[in-house]
Structure 1
Amino acid sequence: MNKKSLGDAVRLPCGVLLKNRFVKAAMSDSLGNGAGDATRDQARLYEKWAEGGVALSIIGEVQGDFRYPEKPGNLVLNEDSDLGTLRDLTSRASINDTHVWAQIGHAGALSDPLISNPAGPSELSFDELKCRALSLEEVRALPEQFAKTALIAKSAGFTGVQIHAAHGFLLSQFLSPLFNHREDEYGGSITCRSRIVLEVIKAVRAAVGSEYPIGIKINSSDLLEGGLVEDEALELVALLNASSIDLIDISGGTYFPGAKASSDASANGPYFLKFAQQARKQTRIPLMLTGGFKTRDQALSALEEADIDFVGLARAMIISPSLPNTWLEQGEDPVFPRFTSTQPGGVTAWYTMAMTALAKDDSQTFDTQLQAALQTYEKRDALRRDTWRKKFTR
């Protein structure tokens, strides 16, 4: 087998060619306007990443059902969407032969409780997380909902979609025994818990056609006691191998209240490399590994050690938006900030506000401290919740 290079072009099963192995992984950029619409700042952010040489950018937390948002800065793709602003976003994000995909999802039990009525596979009642159970009729309606969202994404100029089945959002909740206590055909064994995921893939493929890329993001593990474990995740990979998926994005962790995010870890190197090595034995579908890449050498090693096809970069692309071009030229690695103290949500808020500065071409002067970033982030979300309620309360 020829040695892999970061600059290799890779053809997906559907026939689409990605120009290199760099993917800007999905993040919740929180740059929607609070009414589910794209903004000029958001378009500029993804334009900068396209200029930086990435082959594919995935726009995170795109909702098809406004009733279950993760955050009030999410995009919403439905019959009321402003296709003009969306097409401005996708046209600017797709310069330089770059692909841009919408990560389509449903926050489920993790929906923002201030602007939603959270609902998941099963009723839950924890101190910081409560939700009702979706009815069987609601579950069976999910594949068609995802399919409609994918069709709108296609009409808005997105060159593909990624189905979000990771990080504790709805499809991930179905996969997890911590969230899923159902006793019907959608609960029980990992095969049954995977049923809705496979039905969503089938419906989306039928809607968008055979030549349109469909990816999926999955957890290698929920990293929570009682949650999805690696052996079950490998069974899911084997099930996905028989589907029409074009790219499997491997991540991990769950935004369960109080759980530590894998992205806040101080580990040196990609977080889920060993799982990716095992996943490769279960499938020949292209694999993407996301999380923990800090150096070019780590990216090169992962291509060989785990036989992955794409390197998913998230926070590294905030620090260095031209990182793909830099690494293709064998340039320097990004220098990540070090925080002397942290608080829940603080690091995520800092990177989110750093994305905002990047979108405004103001990164050079961005020196906000962690506490100030968190306060600004929370204040902006509060204002957008007001906008969300005015737009979507029916």
Structure 2
Amino acid sequence: MALLTDPLTLPCGVTLPNRLLKSAMTEGLADEQDHATGRLARLYERWSEGGTGTLITGNVMIDRRFLERPGNVVIDHNGGEAQLSHWAMAGQRAGNQLWMQINHPGRQCQKVVSSQPLAPSDVGIKLVGLFGRPRAMTEDDIQRAISGFARVAGVAKATGFSGIQIHAAHGYLISQFLSPLANRRDDDWGGSLENRARFLLTVIRRCRETVGPDFPIALKLNSADFSQGGFSHEDSLQVASWVSDAGIDLLEISGGTYEKLALMGDRDEKLAKASRAREAYFLDYAAGIREVCKVPLAVTGGFRSRSAMQDALDSGALDVVGLARPLCLQPDVRDLLSGEQDAFPSWEKELRIGPGWLGPRSPNRSLRTLNFGLATQWYYQQIIALSEGKTPRPKPGLITPFVRHTVTERRLAKKRVARGS
């Protein structure tokens, strides 16, 4: 049986120092030129020195016109290689892996960035008016996006990152191509699952051609979108089999989209009760994927206790335990790895706008979404504190973080517009 402290050798030959992985979280710490900053370097240096074996960055975008949020790092013929190298060096200070997550938001591009994003089809998102109606991508748009993923993969390797992760989950562009709800095309890029997966498989192939056989390529994939008529678990099983054969080195399992917040543990989603008892939201889904996938698996979502992490490894359903929000409050995992610490501290019960029907367990989906959104911005503030060399101060209360987040986002968006980004 594998232990949390055991190394893991990937198909490409690279060895992970231990079985903990810091999953991607959007940072919003780029400057108005969309370049990496000293704050990003400081943040990842702290996570590196904290002992997590593999760190995955927040999404680095491939097109300056379309961001997940203001403050994303973008690699689009806009320079910034020296800043990327500084980030890569700082984030591997302790001999760990640092992988760049590469992404395109598709229709999940906020209006403050673009009023008309691109997507496989012109199907919008019904979410409090944050997103404009997308334009369906042309063949040229599709080829430019594929080339963008491969180009950024090459820049990641050239600037010192030790691997990449392709983001194909959580409702972003590749996830949109996979979903029959978002992808209503009738050409080679839509219709059958084979056609809907063509974009993803082409991106993997082009990235592998760019970085070579010895450089880790990971993939983040939904176990399901948890939307009726959307990307199903059966679809996920088939895609997992295809990507396993396509030459990736690690598959990270997650789930949900902005519209279906399974990725944040929304109890309205029909996740397995057994997975809840074990903390991991998607562990049961990973067990099915394990049967069809030949590469190592990581599962992210819900882990808090050392015993749950070790039990998940013992079950054989995964090889790597993914962590995200706990590392915003406690970047150092060495006591957890050694067994001196039993679990991460939890602040989830404090992160609510009100008790009962107003809270994150409200029967009203809009209220749940509001709670989860405000809590996310609370965690952003902890990331900012870490990036400034401060100790996180997890005080209850969501309104102040929300105001700070909103002001910061709007200010950076205006600076980008002023520069013509």
Fold shared per TM-score above 0.5: yes
Per the alignment, do residues 276 and 197 of structure 1 end up closer, same or farther by CA in structure 2, a change over 3 Å counting?
Answer: same
Q: How far, CA to CA, are the matches of 2:393 and 2:293 in structure 1?
A: 45
Aligned ranges 1:306-325 → 2 under 5 Å: 306-325=316-335
Tell whether 2:415 aligns with 1:387: yes
Kept after mapping to 2: 8 A contact 1:357/1:366: no
Compute the displacement of 1:261 (Å). Answer: 4.8
1:59 paired residue number:
57
1:122-156 Cα deviation digits (max 9, x unpaired):
01245544111001222133322211111111122
Per the alignment, do residues 126 and 50 of structure 1 end up closer, same or farther by CA in structure 2, a change over 3 Å counting?
Answer: closer
Q: How far, CA to CA, are the matches of 1:55 and 1:239 in structure 2?
A: 27
Q: How far, CA to CA, are the matches of 1:190 and 1:10 in structure 2?
A: 32
Matched residue pairs, number? 389
Kept after mapping to 1: 8 A contact 2:170/2:263: no
Output the aligned Cα RMSD.
1.6
Tell whether 2:140 aligns with 1:137: yes
Aligned ranges 1:75-90 → 2 under 5 Å: 75-90=73-88
1:25-72 Cα deviation digits (max 9, x unpaired):
001011112321111111111111111101111111100111111011
Q: How far, CA to CA, are the matches of 1:61 and 1:215 in structure 2?
A: 13
2:383 paired residue number:
355
Structure 1 alignment gaps of length 5 or more: none
Q: How far, CA to CA, are the matches of 1:34 and 1:300 in structure 2?
A: 42
Per the alignment, do residues 314 and 126 of structure 1 end up closer, same or farther by CA in structure 2, a change over 3 Å counting?
Answer: closer
1:288 paired residue number:
298
Aligned ranges 1:228-307 → 2 under 5 Å: 228-256=231-259, 259-265=260-266, 267-268=276-277, 269-307=279-317
TM-score by length of 1: 0.95
Identity fraction in percent: 34
Q: How far, CA to CA, are the matches of 1:365 and 1:349 in structure 2?
A: 14
2:341 paired residue number:
331
SS of structure 1 residue aligned to 2:321: strand
SS of structure 2 residue aligned to 1:363: coil
Per the alignment, do residues 8 and 47 of structure 1 end up closer, same or farther by CA in structure 2, a change over 3 Å counting?
Answer: same
SS of structure 1 residue aligned to 2:48: helix
1:330-357 Cα deviation digits (max 9, x unpaired):
4231111122425351010000111111
Q: How far, CA to CA, are the matches of 2:158 and 2:189 in structure 1?
A: 31
2:35 paired residue number:
37
1:72 paired residue number:
70
1:124 paired residue number:
123
Match of 1:225 among 224, 228, 232: 228
Q: How far, CA to CA, are the matches of 2:152 and 2:86 in structure 1?
A: 18
Match of 1:156 among 135, 155, 159: 159
* Aligned residue identity for 2:187: D
Tell whether 2:208 aligns with 1:180: no
Kept after mapping to 1: 8 A contact 2:102/2:166: yes
Kept after mapping to 2: 8 A contact 1:77/1:153: no
